[in-house]
Amino acid sequence: MAKPKTPGRSPRERTEMPSQTASAEGSRVVEGSRRPDDERFDRLFRPTSLDDYIGQEKHKQNLRVFVEAARRRNEPLDHILLCGPPGLGKTTLALILAREMGVTLHATSGPAIEHKGALAGLLTNLQQRDVLFVDEIHRLTAAVEESLYPAIESYSIDIMMGDGPHASTINLPLQPFSLVGATTRTGLLTAPLLSRFGYVMRLDFYPVEELVRIVQRSARLLDVAIAEEASVEIAQRARGTPRVANRLLRRVSDFALVLGDGSIDRDIAVESCDRLEIDQAGLDEMDRRLMSIIIDTYEGGPVGVETLAAAMAEPRDTIEDVYEPYLLQQGFIGRTPRGRIATRKAYEHLGKTMPVQGGGAPPQGTLF
């Protein structure tokens, strides 16, 4: 979907973004995936340059070098894969890269490129050095992925003319461009596709200090006064994810406006999060339910992910991509060859007593 040009930018900085896909599990405040109501604020909060972008310092420094080198050579950026859980800024970085290169970003997603013809349409539309951003690149069909290879390698694409016995293939040259792919896990990509990226950037969850800076920056953009301790309370509950931090900030600013004078102090931040049932570790009711199921129904585990998904009434992918990454990263649950286990931290967090090993409790297996 073409978006109008932003005033004050050169025509080459125009951004073309696709419509967003729905999230799997609905309306959690702490969900990392983009929700339709985030759209407007994502645009307000989104940093537009590497200087503005908070966090991921090591990668940012490398990206600065790659952009500068590509600009000096008047070449496109090398193909880049952005990898990490939802909400950490993959789309934002793609936008920034295009902007820093002074080119147009064409954004699409793996599932949206339904056949080779759609890919050919996208590729032949690219101007020199443009960025093609493919979100969820692991979801390209095998046929589309294969026809992407020559485009990435030698800026050309094979197009079938006609069909049946008279079909022939023509090789169409493309403008040199840069592919920026995004995926939640590199393990989901085929080896041939992975090997074609010049730089793989794994985005990590953000530490609290960086989220504090993001919350304060967003509060400034919202024109809302926020106390330092209040931004810490929000940052601590944001699950290492800027999108969650910004969403929490919006909700807390609603409470501040209606219950107070509009400014956010520590008390209003804590009360708002309590009302939203987001605890101090940033866990919501769904996270606590997942841990409770492992503990109460499966005696602490191990329990297979399929069984857990059935008990949560959620698809397996949602368990693996949405709930688990943060719980695993924070050490609330563990993965063993026989399934998921609840750790001591989960028992303590839920105020439950962990059975003594060997005292009747099943062995928990070895962590991976």
Which residues form the interface with ligand ADE (CB under 6 A)? 45, 47, 53-55, 89, 92, 214, 217, 242, 246
Nearer to ligand ADE, 54 or 333 (CB): 54
Catalytic: 135? Answer: yes
The β-bridge relationship of strands 178-183 and 80-83 is parallel
- Cis peptide, bond prior to residue 302, ω within 30 of zero: yes
Nearer to ligand ADE, 76 or 240 (CB): 240
Compute the least distance from the CB of residue 95 to ligand ADE, in Å: 11
Buried b (16+ CB within 10 A) or exposed e, 185-208: eeebbeeebbebbeeebebebbee
Compute CA distances 275 → 234, 252, 267, 268, whole Å: 13, 10, 12, 10
Report the candidate in 186, 196, 202, 199 with the shortest Cα–Cα distance to residue 66: 199
Q: Please tell me which residue in 15, 91, 92, 108 is annotated as part of the active site.
A: 91
Compute the least distance from the CB of residue 117 to ligand ADE, in Å: 35
Q: Please tell me which residue in 15, 92, 184, 318 is annotated as part of the active site.
A: 184
Nearer to ligand ADE, 118 or 221 (CB): 221
Q: Which H/E stretch holds residue 116? A: helix 116-124
Q: Are 132 and 177 in contact (CB under 8 A)?
A: yes
Q: Please tell me which residue in 34, 129, 237, 243 is annotated as part of the active site.
A: 243
Catalytic: 243? Answer: yes
CA 334, 336, 340, 343 torsion-angle sign = negative
Nearer to ligand ADE, 210 or 233 (CB): 210
CA 259-265-268 angle, 5° bins? 40
Catalytic: 42? Answer: no
In angstroms and rounded to an integer, the radius of gyration of the C-alpha atoms of the chain is 23
Compute the least distance from the CB of residue 326 to ligand ADE, in Å: 17
Nearer to ligand ADE, 15 or 92 (CB): 92
CA 76, 201, 38, 262 torsion-angle sign = negative
Compute the least distance from the CB of residue 218 to ligand ADE, in Å: 6
Compute the least distance from the CB of residue 213 to ligand ADE, in Å: 8
Compute the least distance from the CB of residue 214 to ligand ADE, in Å: 5
Tokens matching residue 263: 């400014």
Catalytic: 104? Answer: no
Nearer to ligand ADE, 180 or 214 (CB): 214
The β-bridge relationship of strands 105-109 and 15-16 is parallel
Q: Are 328 and 334 in contact (CB under 8 A)?
A: yes
Compute the least distance from the CB of residue 20 to ligand ADE, in Å: 16
Nearer to ligand ADE, 246 or 364 (CB): 246
* Cα–Cα distance for residue pair 100/122, rounded to 1 Å: 22
Terminal Cα-to-Cα distance of the chain (whole angstroms): 43
Catalytic: 92? Answer: no
Q: Which active-site residues does the annotation give?
A: 90-91, 135, 184, 243
